[in-house]
Amino acid sequence: RMQDSGPFLLGIFFALTLYHFFIWLGRRHALSNLAFSLLSTIYIIFFLLARNLSTSMHGIYFFYLFVVLITYALVFFAHTLGMMPGKSKHYHKISFIIVAAAGLAASAWKSADMESILPSIFLLAIAASNATINTIIVSIDFIRKKKYKSGLATVLFISFHLLALAVIVSGVLLRFLPNNNTEIGSTLIFLLPFLIMMVVFTWALTRQLSMEHRELELLKSSLEKKVEERTAELAKANAQKSQFFVNLAHEMKTPITLISNYFDEYVQRTGASFETGIVKYNLQKLKQDMIHFLDYEKLEHGKSFYDHHQNVNASYILELQSLLYRETAAKQEITVNLQSGKGIILHIDPAAFEKIINNIVDNALKYNRRKGWIEISLSCNETHASLVVRNTGETIPSNVREKIFEPYYQLSGRKGNRQGIGMGLAIVKKILDECNGEICVESESGVTTMTITLPLGSTPASNAMHAGFEDAILPHESADFQLLPEEYHENRKTIFLAEDNKAMLFYLHKHLGEEYNVYYAADGNEALGKMEIIPLPDIIISDIMMDNMDGFAFLERLGADERFASIPFIFLTA
């Protein structure tokens, strides 16, 4: 019997209501699911309570509340389904205000005249008019935009209007029919259309989710293809860029070698001087940087140029190499202590071992402090040898200790008068990977320790050194330049220099100082402080890349000070 099917239909009804509510919880933008869940919840509550309250005063007020809420829920549902035109996007709010006002008026009217049914008829008329206007708006928009061409939109349109009609008729029956006919009437007229709407709406939702899933699959496939294509393009571009720099380095290496050779001949004929020493240093540095770059590129592409099937006397090589950097260390007042076991044989190319020593010790000198120290020790056990280099200087933060072995990486991005391109440790790591060696770094309280472990070889060993000492440690310019004193002459104009490269600062000061008063600073921060105490300069010449404060920040700070804002400013940079 139909009345026996009511609880069963209500059970399905309630399950689908929860289903749409939970869908909305997971997809907050899907307001249609929330609106439908709200609509069905309002009616379920009313359906379960209306039969016991319909003849009482409270039941009448409850009925009025139902009419207000169900009307708003219907219009809001239509709005979330996209059935309302854009200009009517706030209609559901206006509808609620109108019907709520009618509900309050009907309640007051009923309180004044308990026997009259006119308040109920009045409220139902307002609700019906509201629903009719809503239907007209939806229908006009449906036809004008030709939404009927979409099968899904047409099914939703018809199902929604059947539901709206069922709600209105069911509400009338629940209010005015005798109690024994209420369940049959509401089941026939309301629950079945509502369940049909739920099935249609669920089908539409499932169809939409399936379409979204297909679109996501297509998007994923397309995106993966684009990523692969882009990755291939970037790899090709990177290879082309690397090849370009390799070719450039090769092309520059020959003319620099020629320049260096002719320059050496010139120095032999005319004699050495401080200026020729600066030229020689920079030629050697440029050549060394290019060699590092070319070496790393070869190692990166698996083009090893070392023969590690050799046994070399590491103790002998280390002692000879120490002669190359002791002089540089002495100029910086850095104490070097070497402790090397005798006759330690390694299984490595002698040129590779030489490069490891030079790059590690070169870093120990660059990042050291004046009057610091370097300790170098070479020892071995039964299977491996350990080369340990300890030095004072900057502490390497733990979070970058792996990064220092990456190409072009320089500690904290600071130049600090340390000339180089950040390739030394990257080359060391590549060489160690080739010959089954390891390197680890410890750095605490201003003391850094680098420990290199290499497999032992067997006698006889070669004492060979890399011919030409191309990778010998360069003298560090910070120890070689005694900057000229700052002097002031009243009859001269004043130039202020901000430059962190001492060789460039010496060069500029020497030449400009013949005609001008020259003051200088090593970075923007020092320059700002010095501007407060020196005579007001007529012009400022500044580098851009400097520690503590770069040239751009220096210029900005000067511009903000009315005392210095009008001073001409020139950037001089590589």
- SS3 for 389-416 is EEEECCCCCHHHCCHHHCCCCCHHHCCC
86 pLDDT above the threshold of 60: no
pLDDT digits over 413-465, tens only? 454 445 556 677 888 888 888 888 999 999 988 899 999 999 887 765 555 44
Residues 500 and 467 in one domain: no
Residues 79 and 210 in one domain: yes
Q: For residue 263, count CB atoms less than 10 angstroms from its CB and return exposed for 0-12, middle for 13-18, buried for 19 or more.
A: middle
Beta bridge partner(s), residue 495: 518, 539
Question: How far apart (Å, rounded) are the C-alpha atoms in residues 427 and 407?
Answer: 8
Mean of per-residue pLDDT scores for the chain? 75
Per the CB < 8 A criterion, the answer to whether 193 and 160 are in contact is no
Q: At which of 155, 190, 221 does a domain end?
A: 221
Residues 6 and 131 in one domain: yes
Residues 390 and 538 in one domain: no
Residue range 199-220: average pLDDT? Answer: 75
Question: How far apart (Å, rounded) are the C-alpha atoms in residues 517 and 484?
Answer: 12
63 pLDDT above the threshold of 70: no
What's the total number of domains in the chain?
A: 3
Residue range 289-306: average pLDDT? Answer: 69
The reported pLDDT for the residue numbered 467 is 39
The reported pLDDT for the residue numbered 468 is 40
Residues 439 and 517 in one domain: no
In a domain, 266, yes or no: no
In a domain, 438, yes or no: yes
Higher-confidence position of 30 and 484: 484
Higher-confidence position of 466 and 382: 382
5 pLDDT above the threshold of 60: no
Residue 567, Cα to own-chain centre: how many angstroms?
A: 40
Residue range 227-244: average pLDDT? Answer: 77
Question: How far apart (Å, rounded) are the C-alpha atoms in residues 192 and 198?
Answer: 10
Residue range 192-208: average pLDDT? Answer: 66
302 pLDDT above the threshold of 90: no
Residues 106 and 168 in one domain: yes
What tokens does 301 get?
């592409």
Residues 70 and 23 in one domain: yes
Long-range contacts, 131-140 (Cβ 8 Å, 24+): 131/71, 131/74, 131/75, 131/164, 131/168, 134/74, 134/75, 134/78, 134/91, 134/95, 134/164, 135/161, 135/164, 137/84, 137/85, 137/88, 137/91, 138/78, 138/83, 138/84, 140/85
Residue range 113-140: average pLDDT? Answer: 72
In a domain, 122, yes or no: yes
The reported pLDDT for the residue numbered 212 is 73
What tokens does 15 get?
């399950």
The reported pLDDT for the residue numbered 492 is 94
570 pLDDT above the threshold of 90: yes
In a domain, 234, yes or no: no
Residues 453 and 506 in one domain: no
Longest dimension (CA), the chain: 130
Per the CB < 8 A criterion, the answer to whether 307 and 349 are in contact is yes
In a domain, 21, yes or no: yes
Q: Residue 171: give its domain's CATH number.
A: 1.20.1070
Question: How far apart (Å, rounded) are the C-alpha atoms in residues 436 and 544?
Answer: 43
Q: Residue 344: give its domain's CATH number.
A: 3.30.565.10
CB count within 10 Å of CB 534 equals 16
Residues 111 and 25 in one domain: yes
Nearest Cα neighbor of 31 from 46, 20, 15, 47 is: 20
Q: At which of 221, 255, 287 does a domain end?
A: 221
What is the H or E stretch that residue 525 is in? helix 524-531
In a domain, 182, yes or no: yes
Residues 26 and 168 in one domain: yes
The reported pLDDT for the residue numbered 442 is 92
The reported pLDDT for the residue numbered 176 is 56
Higher-confidence position of 328 and 13: 328
In a domain, 235, yes or no: no
Share of the chain above pLDDT 90, in %: 15
The domain in which residue 559 lies consists of: 494-571
The reported pLDDT for the residue numbered 466 is 42
272 pLDDT above the threshold of 70: yes
The reported pLDDT for the residue numbered 428 is 87
Higher-confidence position of 205 and 556: 556
Tell whether omega for the bond before 397 is within 30 degrees of 0, i.e. cis: no
pLDDT band for position 81 (cuts 50, 70, 90): low
Higher-confidence position of 85 and 311: 311
Q: At which of 448, 475, 502 does a domain end?
A: 475
Q: Is 28 helix (H, G, I), strand (E, B) or coil?
A: coil
Residue range 234-262: average pLDDT? Answer: 69
Please name the amino acid found at residue 443: S
Residues 7 and 142 in one domain: yes
Higher-confidence position of 479 and 499: 499
Per the CB < 8 A criterion, the answer to whether 137 and 164 are in contact is no
Q: For residue 188, count CB atoms less than 10 angstroms from its CB and return exposed for 0-12, middle for 13-18, buried for 19 or more.
A: middle
In a domain, 258, yes or no: no
The reported pLDDT for the residue numbered 506 is 83
What tokens does 547 get?
């520690």
Residues 468 and 500 in one domain: no
Nearest Cα neighbor of 353 from 329, 385, 327 is: 385
What secondary structure does DSSP assign to 281-336, as a single string? HHHHHHHHHHHHHHHHHHHHTT------S-EEEHHHHHHHHHHHHHHHHHHTT-EE
Question: How far apart (Å, rounded) are the C-alpha atoms in residues 62 and 174?
Answer: 12
Per the CB < 8 A criterion, the answer to whether 281 and 474 are in contact is yes
